[in-house]
Structure 1
Amino acid sequence: MNIKILGHHVEITPGMRSHLEDKLKKISGHFDQVQNMTVTLSINNEKEKDLRNHAEITLHLKGKDLFAEAHNGDMYHAMDLVVDKLDRQVLKHKEKVQDHHHQTLKNT
């Protein structure tokens, strides 16, 4: 799995990188078909102070792309929120893929 972390008007510190990578391991543990992830962290000074920090993740799976974003006053909390949103999407996608293969009824 390839993780690309970008910062827009924010410097990505080693602490932020390690926090994010630890959280993203949970997603790759649920679903092993993750090809790569693009994480963008940004600060928008024009928004309200409580929603200034913005985190978004684009997850590339085989045949599908998933996207999640979150806003919060704290960047670490925004990262946690976006990973939780994406985790729910990955689990839902995994259920759809697995439920697609039903057993056929045999005529006796």
Structure 2
Amino acid sequence: MNVSISGHHISITEAMETAVREKLEKVERHFDQIQSIQVILSLDNSGSGKKSHKAEAILRVSGQEMFVQSYDDDMYKAINDMADKLNRQVRKYKTRLERKKTQGAGRDGRYQDLSSGDTAPAV
């Protein structure tokens, strides 16, 4: 898994990078087919004078791209929230894939079982 961490209006410290990588390990445990994750940590100085920290992530798997973002007064809380949101999206995506796999493999009730003696109408 390729993880890219960058900062916008903020310098990335070792502690921030370590926090992001540790949180993203949880995501990787749930789904191992992740191609890349791009994380952008930024400091948003809105007109209210209140500094707000933002953590964004773009996760790429084959055929799918997932985006999450989180705002908080503390950068580490924003990172935790961003990782939790990403974790939920990955688990939901994985469940959807597994459901597709099991539904496509079995019969869906439109066809009668030939072994029970019932005959299907000739087409």
TM-score normalized by the length of structure 2: 0.82
In the TM superposition, what are the counterparts of 1:26-41 in structure 2 within 5 Å?
26-41=26-41
TM superposition shift of 1:104: 1.4
Rounded Cα–Cα distance in structure 2 between residues aligned with 1:52 and 1:93 = 30
Structure 2 unaligned spans of 5+: 116-123
Q: CA deviation at 1:3?
A: 0.3
Mark the structure with the bigger radius of gyration: 2
Which residue is 2:106 aligned to?
104
Distance 2:85 2:41 in 1: 15
Measure the CA separation in 1 of the matches of 2:98 and 2:106: 15
Where does the alignment leave 5 or more consecutive residues of structure 1 unmatched? none
Q: Following the alignment from structure 2 to structure 1, what is the Cα–Cα distance between the partners of residues 46 and 90?
A: 32
**Aligned residue pair count:** 107
1:66-105 map, 5 Å: 66-102=66-102, 103-105=105-107
Give the SS at the match of 1:100.
Answer: helix
Following superposition, the deviation at residue 55 of structure 1 comes to 0.6
| Alpha-carbon spacing, 1:73–1:16, altered in 2? closer, same or farther (3 Å) | same
2:70 is matched by which residue type in structure 1? A
Aligned partners of 1:18 and 1:44: how far apart in 2? Answer: 22
- Counterpart of 1:6 in structure 2 is 6
Deviations 1:9-35 (A, max 9, x none): 111001110111000000000001100
TM-align CA RMSD: 1.4
Structure 1 distance, partners of 2:44, 2:61, is 29
Displacement over 4 Å in runs of 4+: none
Determine the structure 2 residue equivalent to 1:21. Answer: 21
CA 72–47 in structure 1, closer or farther in 2 if over 3 Å, else same: farther
- Paired with 1:67 and 1:58, the residues of 2 have a C-alpha distance of 5
Shift of 1:45: 1.2
| Aligned equivalent of 1:58 | 58
Question: CA separation in 1, counterparts of 2:33 and 2:8?
Answer: 28
